[in-house]
Amino acid sequence: VDHAIGSLERPMTDAMLARKFHDQADPVLGASQVEALIQACWGLGQASSVRALVDLARARQ
């Protein structure tokens, strides 16, 4: 393999990155919470605070 997926030469698409994050985080946070967290990350540049993002990243008891 000359260039792995995710390298500078073969960057992951947003969809690929989201799928990878879902694969890793869904078992801990649940799919709906992970999707909300992804959307919060995409909107981070417009957020006035990171509080919502931090809350979404916290596993529920």
Tokens 């989201």 — which residue?
A: 18
User: Which pLDDT does position 60 carry in this prediction?
Assistant: 81
pTM for this model (two decimals) = 0.84
Domain ranges of the chain: 14-57
User: Which pLDDT does position 51 carry in this prediction?
Assistant: 94
Averages of pLDDT over each 10 residues, the chain, 61 residues: 95 98 97 97 94 92 71
Check: CB of residue 57 under 8 Å from CB of residue 37: yes
The per-type count for the chain, helices as H runs and strands as E runs, is 3, 0
User: Which pLDDT does position 24 carry in this prediction?
Assistant: 98
